[in-house]
């Protein structure tokens, strides 16, 4: 799967999960400062991404996923 495909899917998942306009979700979006995701929201999103991409994301690794780009790079290295 190419990075752009992963990026598009992550943007779709984030937009759906947080009820955002996908056109306003960019790679630089920060989960903590831009959408104020709490820990439960983020865990749910990580679970959705694991299901979507078939890749396990450890709790330790999930803590390092600060932006959409971080998340896409992480997933791209594992699928």
Assigned token pair, 14:
């984030």
**pLDDT score for 38:** 86
- What confidence tier does 70 reach under pLDDT thresholds 50, 70, 90? very high
pLDDT tens per residue across span 12-63: 999 999 999 999 999 999 998 999 788 899 999 999 999 999 999 999 999 9
54: left (phi over 0), alpha (psi -120 to 50) or beta: left
Catalytic residues: 38
C-alpha span between 43 and 49 (Å, rounded): 10
CATH 1.10.1200.10 corresponds to the domain 3-76? yes
pTM equals: 0.92
- What confidence tier does 75 reach under pLDDT thresholds 50, 70, 90? very high
Domain boundaries, the chain: 3-76
């Amino acid at each position: 799967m190419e990075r752009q495909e992963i990026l598009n899917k992550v943007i779709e998942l984030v937009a759906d999960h947080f009820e955002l306009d996908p056109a306003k979700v960019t790679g630089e979006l920060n989960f903590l400062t831009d959408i104020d995701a709490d820990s439960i929201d983020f865990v749910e999103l990580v679970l959705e991404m694991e299901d979507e991409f078939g890749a396990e994301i450890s709790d330790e690794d999930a803590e390092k996923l600060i932006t959409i780009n971080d998340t896409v790079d992480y997933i791209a290295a594992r699928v």
